[in-house]
Structure 1
Amino acid sequence: MKSARRRAREFAVQGVYQYLMSQDTVNNIDLYLRGSSTYFTKADANLYRAILFGVIKDAAALTKAIEPHVDRPLEEVSTVELAVLYTGAFEIISMPETPYPVIINEAIELTKTYGGSDGHRFVNGVLDKLAELVRASEFAAIRAKRQG
């Protein structure tokens, strides 16, 4: 059974995907998503809204944060993977209360569900590099704990 937070991230990725494909307004996308599924009521609406509205508002800054860690032009990245990268990057940068391994794991699972066969590896690598920069102390603490 999916958690409310997982559902929120799924809807946020769908909204960001729709934005990337259509450049529609965030309010139109939000209205569409809220009415598109009976499962929306089972999502964490606050998390969904924070991610969707935050990503669209901060898209230029998120692009700058992601680009150095991508091995090709962003135009060549699949739209699904790009939507997951934007949502994951937003959470890593703007939601420090959520441990970055949780954010990356959720991004991997979303990419496995909606993306290409090896897209999850790409998303994992990009978000891991971003987390190492943005959350250096958390990253170091987790690495030290894993090493022993």
Structure 2
Amino acid sequence: MAAAQSTSHSKSGFKYKKRRHLSRELVLQGIYQWRVAGSDASFIETQLRDTSLFPKIDESFFSELLRGVLKNATMLEQHIQPCLDRSLTDLSPIESSILLLSTYELIYHLEIPYRAIINEAIELAKTYGGTDGYKYVNGVLDKLAAQLRTIEIQSLAKKKIEPAS
């Protein structure tokens, strides 16, 4: 019986993660559209709600991410730019959109481990970005996480070096 409950729980956990991943995919599409076409945020959100993917996502997570990134884009860019070796505008629109999304999550979603945020960004970059774009995204987000999630990173480092009891 306990094994069945555990399996059920892990399946629901998988569904939750999948819904969040799909939410990020839609948000990425919205940020991309906003950056490339300059579309209005409410128009983008309405358009994305009409996609076949929308019923499969975490709707509140999607809305909060999309609105949050677009509303705070200038501030997010100010965090990202010092970690780049070129201007943010010189990056591909996909890479810059992934960085905006992930930086927003690093700042405003402390309940999500920074490693999970970076892993999601890498997966998005592998799926939608250029051949080695994911490596660049990973490097930039590692730098950002070191600045934005210092306590979390230090806590993990301490756990690694503490002797087992």
TM bucket normalised to smaller: over 0.9
SS in 1 for 2:130: coil
Going from structure 1 to structure 2, the CA distance change for 1:145 and 1:120 (only over 3 Å counts) comes to farther
Task: Give the alignment partner of residue 46 of structure 2, picking from 19, 31, 34.
Answer: 31
Task: Give the alignment partner of residue 13 of structure 1, picking from 10, 19, 28.
Answer: 28
Distance 1:76 1:24 in 2: 20
Percent identity, aligned pairs only, is: 41
Q: Which has the larger radius of gyration?
A: 2
Give the number of aligned pairs. 147
CA RMSD of aligned residues (A): 1.4
Residue by residue, what CA displacement relative to the aligned partner does 1:7-61 show, whole Å, maximum 9, x if unpaired?
00000000000000111111000011111x2121110111111111001000100
Relative contact order higher in (CA < 8 Å, ≥ 6 apart): 1
The offset of 1:131, in angstroms, is 0.9
Q: Determine if the alignment matches structure 1 residue 44 to structure 2 residue 58.
A: yes
Counterpart position of 2:77: 63
Larger CA deviation: 105-114 vs 125-134: 125-134
What letter matches 1:132 in structure 2? A
Alignment of 1:1-148 (within 5 A): 3-35=18-50, 37-146=51-160
TM-score (norm 1): 0.94
Larger CA deviation: 134-143 vs 99-108: 134-143
The offset of 1:146, in angstroms, is 4.4
Distance 2:64 2:89 in 1: 25
Name segments (4+ residues, structure 1) moved above 4 Å: none
The offset of 1:143, in angstroms, is 3.1
Going from structure 1 to structure 2, the CA distance change for 1:28 and 1:97 (only over 3 Å counts) comes to same
What letter matches 1:79 in structure 2? P
Distance 1:134 1:122 in 2: 18
Distance 1:53 1:118 in 2: 29
Structure 1: 5+ residue runs without aligned partners? Answer: none
